[in-house]
Amino acid sequence: MIKVSDTAKKKVIELMTDDGFDATTDFVRVGVKSGGCSGLSYDLTFDKSTQENDKIFEENSVKIVVDKKSFLYLVGTTLEYSGGLNGKGFVFNNPNANRTCGCGESFSL
């Protein structure tokens, strides 16, 4: 399961609305892909549909979809949002990551 902080929830709902998505019915798709300076990088998009191998759950009133392969890397992760002048945007606090890069967008296990 992926946790969603209150600040991330507010920003997700705001961005989904701005992009024409409905936060009450549509999903935040979270995944892991190869790449980045540490080997794997996070991928976050909005989606209106699910695929056969997706895990679907709701956390803090945010509907989240994760493919089964990515889910193994993301179990226990908290999605947070850091705004302001020094903010990084969405941040994944992943307890499974052994190493992360300075920008926080990639990791390795």
| pTM of this structure | 0.81
Domain that holds residue 32: 3-108
The CATH number of whichever domain residue 49 belongs to comes to 2.60.300.12
Q: Give the C-alpha separation, 27 to 21, whole Å.
A: 8
Q: How many domains does the chain have?
A: 1
Which of the 8 DSSP states describes residue 39?
S
Query: Helices H, strands E: what count in the chain?
Result: 2, 9
Q: Report whether 28 contacts 65 (CB < 8 A).
A: yes
User: Which of 29, 19, 90 minimizes the C-alpha distance to 57?
Assistant: 29
Provide the residue-wise pLDDT of the chain in tens; the chain has 109 residues: 899 999 999 999 999 999 999 999 999 999 988 765 557 788 899 999 999 999 999 999 999 999 999 998 899 999 999 887 776 788 888 887 765 655 445 444 4
